[in-house]
Amino acid sequence: MESIEATKIKIGAGKAEIALKDSDFPLKAFVGFLGRIFVRAFLCEVSDPWLLISIEATSLPSHVIELLQDQGACIAGIPRKNVFISVTHTFSVPHIPSDKKSIDDEHTTNVLFTAIIQALSNAVMSAKTSLSYGEIDYGEAPCAINVNRNVETKKGYWIGQNKEGYSNRTLKVLRFYVKGEPVAYLINYDLQASALDKARNASGERLISGDIVGTCLEELESHVVPIAIFLPGCAGDQAPIFQARQEEDVYTVNQRVKELGSHMAECVKRAAVCIGKKNRLLCSISCTVAKVPEQKMWYETPDLTPHLTYPFTPTYHELSIPITLICLGDVNLLLCAPELNSEFGVKLQQYSKNPLMIGTLVNGAMKYLPEEKDFEHITYAAMNTKLGRGSAEIFLHATEKLLKEGEEC
């Protein structure tokens, strides 16, 4: 762990479009764009500098993340361990395959990786060249565009809209200023950007989009702040309040998505200041690893269905979950790869003296971190993960210790 106390810190932010040509399509089921997608970067220069890179994608395989970390570290001139790759978790972008099993996989990988690495390079370079001494403040606002998705059916729990289930509807915003002017917002909310997941055009094909989050960010960047970055919160058991039905026309339903994105942007603008701008900032980075039990995954994701009984089977091996804590002034950023439940995020907050922003799907994707209630109910999250029974409790204790030690520095 390293920490510093300085009069001010240097901050910089950048953005670049993930540019694809007409000749690059089709990419899997995608044949073109509904909306533009971007890579955004935020660089914080202190004695132990760190870089957050946000990519409009669903998730990224580990080998791609490592290459992106290398590129970001090289351009920013900082240690690779302090480069954090995040995704907005939009479902309306092709996946880069983990394994290239076909010519189609090879084409998708080459095209997307080339476009992403170029956009990342440009965004990080912009962040580096814009570095200036700055200040921060933090705010919160209610935002009711998420809903619990665990629904009990006759065949077992499945994905739907459970308005009686828990959803944390607090939207959190960390704002960065240079000479009194906003230069970047970091937005944290328990939302999965999947409203357009099932939507198609008239030919049954898909179109690339940043979904609700993408609309929100572009609206803010048009009218409020140069760079707005979304950090997915604890949305493992959450869904947007609107999701297109199977094969619904993508152009028709996109209007509803734009409305929700605009509403989210208004919530960001309404976020009340909870701490004042800080001239003296304590910044520290600390890490730990939670060793959790592994379980067997009996089905691939597309083959999952509701179950009334299910054989949760331990492999008797352990999996490692890296957890990073960045204490920045009076705000804590907790970063991890697994998708956490919304109420579980509230449990983590109780161990933090300061406001806690929890970023999931950072530096990898480990699927879900189920709680005991998920195993009892046999939820989608409990079946669709290698993180076995008891993992949530181990993660909770590891985070509690990390927060206690980090805040004492």
Q: How distant is the alpha carbon of residue 34 from its chain centre?
A: 21
Structure tokens at 228: 């707005």
Q: Please give the residue that has the higher pLDDT: either 383 or 7.
A: 383
Could you report how far apart the first and last alpha carbons of the chain are, in Å?
Answer: 9
Q: Which pLDDT score is estimated for 8? A: 66
- Tell me the whole-structure pTM to 2 decimals: 0.95
Asked whether residue 312 carries a pLDDT value surpassing 80, the answer given is yes
Angle at 62 between CA 325 and CA 117, to 5 degrees: 95
β partners of residue 269 = none
- Beta-strand ranges (E) seen in 194-280 are 206-208, 227-232, 238-240, 272-275
pLDDT at position 287: 97
pLDDT in tens, 181-217: 999 999 999 999 999 999 999 999 999 999 999 999 9
Output the DSSP codes for 143-162: ---EEEEEEEETTEEEEEEE
**Confidence category of residue 2, pLDDT binned at 50, 70, 90:** very low
Burial code (b: 16+ CB inside 10 Å, e: under 16) for 272-310 equals eeeeebbeebbbbbbeeebebbbbeeeeeeeeeebbeee
| Mean pLDDT estimate for the chain | 94
d(CA 237, CA 277): 34
CA 58 from chain center: how many Å? 9
Note whether 392 and 379 are within 8 A (CB).
no
Give the per-residue pLDDT at 395.
Answer: 98
- Determine the pLDDT at residue 284: 87
Contact criterion met (CB below 8 Å) for 139 and 187: no
Give whole-number Cα distances, 134 to 16, 65, 218, in Å.
22, 29, 23
Per the omega criterion (within 30 degrees of 0), is the bond before 26 cis?
yes
Nearest residue to 12 (alpha-carbon basis) of 108, 115, 129: 129
Who's near 26: CB < 8 A, 6+ residues apart?
Answer: 205
Helical H segments across 130-210, by residue range: none
Between CA 67 and CA 19 the distance in angstroms is 19
**Span 56-110, pLDDT tens digits:** 999 999 999 999 999 999 999 999 999 999 999 999 999 998 887 788 889 999 9
Q: Give the residue-averaged pLDDT of 262-272.
A: 97
Better pLDDT: 46 or 5: 46
CA distance 34 to 158: 29
Res 276: pLDDT: 61
